Amino acid sequence: MTPLRPLAVLLCLTASPSFADTGLPDIPHLSETDSVDLLTDLAVANVISQNCAGFEITDAEYDLLNGASGILSTRFRLDPPTYNEMFLHPAYGVLAEEDGCAVEGPKIQALIDRLIGWGAVLE
């Protein structure tokens, strides 16, 4: 996965007037803290799944994680550079942690399941 793909997905999603009928989750309106936590988890899952052996995900799951990030980024009115600075770049710091992959990798499936619980469809 190229580093530009998350940016391209985010640009497409933030330019989109509606997320209806896209297979993306209907993320409930969460508190600001819970939304930031979720967006952080999505960014970390993206980085781990693309860089840690044993935690790879399908293209559909990757698109789901990035689509959900796009929904939350739109709610916060984050442009792609701000999203990258606030969420994606710090998520790469997990890779520098000795056990970052082992700690964060197992959380990916639960996050995907949570998004599916909110109506996401993997295609």
**Domain assignment present for 55:** yes
Instruction: Report which of residues 8 and 34 the model is more confident about.
Output: 34
Q: What is the pLDDT of residue 92?
A: 96
Confidence of residue 32 (pLDDT cuts 50, 70, 90): very high
Cβ atoms of residues 44 and 91 within 8 Å? yes
Q: What is the pLDDT of residue 123?
A: 77
Structural domains of the chain, count: 1
Residue 79 clears pLDDT 80, i.e. is over it: yes
**Domain assignment present for 23:** no
**Domain assignment present for 122:** no
Confidence of residue 71 (pLDDT cuts 50, 70, 90): very high
- Average per-residue pLDDT in the chain? 87
**Domain assignment present for 24:** no
**Domain assignment present for 20:** no
Provide the domain limits for residue 87: 4-14+30-117
**Domain assignment present for 106:** yes
Residue 23 clears pLDDT 80, i.e. is over it: yes
Distance CA 10, CA 5 (A): 8
**Domain assignment present for 19:** no
**Domain assignment present for 109:** yes
Q: What is the pLDDT of residue 22?
A: 66
Distance CA 55, CA 99 (A): 13
Instruction: Report which of residues 20 and 24 the model is more confident about.
Output: 24
Distance spanning both ends of the chain, measured CA to CA: 18
Q: What is the pLDDT of residue 20?
A: 43
